[in-house]
Every structure is written in structure tokens, then in C-alpha cells.
Amino acid sequence: MRAIDLSTITWRKSSYSNPDGGNCVEVAPNLPSLVPVRDSKDPARGALLFAAPAWVAFLDGVRREEPRWAA
């Protein structure tokens, strides 16, 4: 497996991230076939890489699921 250089990509913080610094997720949606995801509080730790179709399927599932914390 070859290494993927993520040092020059543009990250954006998820709109669902906690505004006070907790639960912060960043994605880099500007790669053609991969979606890197990382913890914005610890970016040096690395990123998870998802195939673009898998990321789309994940987001679709999250959007359809009613939050378990909703009353």
C-alpha cells in the first residue's frame, strides 16, 4: 500500500462539531476518490481514509437515523 500525502489538503471542520472544543471532526472533501477524516484536537495523530462511496453511504445513514439523544 502506498502512502498518501495529506500535508497540502484543505481541511474543514464539521458543522456538527462541538463549538466549545470537544468532539471536533475535520474532513477533507477535496480528494477525488478518498475522504480523509481526523480529530481536529489532535491532527498530528493522523486521519482515517474512507473510499468516497463509503463516506457517502455513512453520511446518508447518519442523516436518516434519528439521534438517540433526542427526547
Residue ranges per structural domain of the chain = 23-64
pLDDT at 10 over 80: yes
Cβ atoms of 41 and 21 closer than 8 Å = yes
pLDDT (0 to 100) of residue 25: 87
What is the pLDDT confidence band of residue 49, given thresholds at 50, 70 and 90? very high
Amino acid at 1: M
**pTM value > 0.85:** no
H and E: helices and strands count for the chain: 1, 4
Q: What percentage of the chain's residues is helix, strand, coil (to nearest 5)?
A: 25, 20, 55
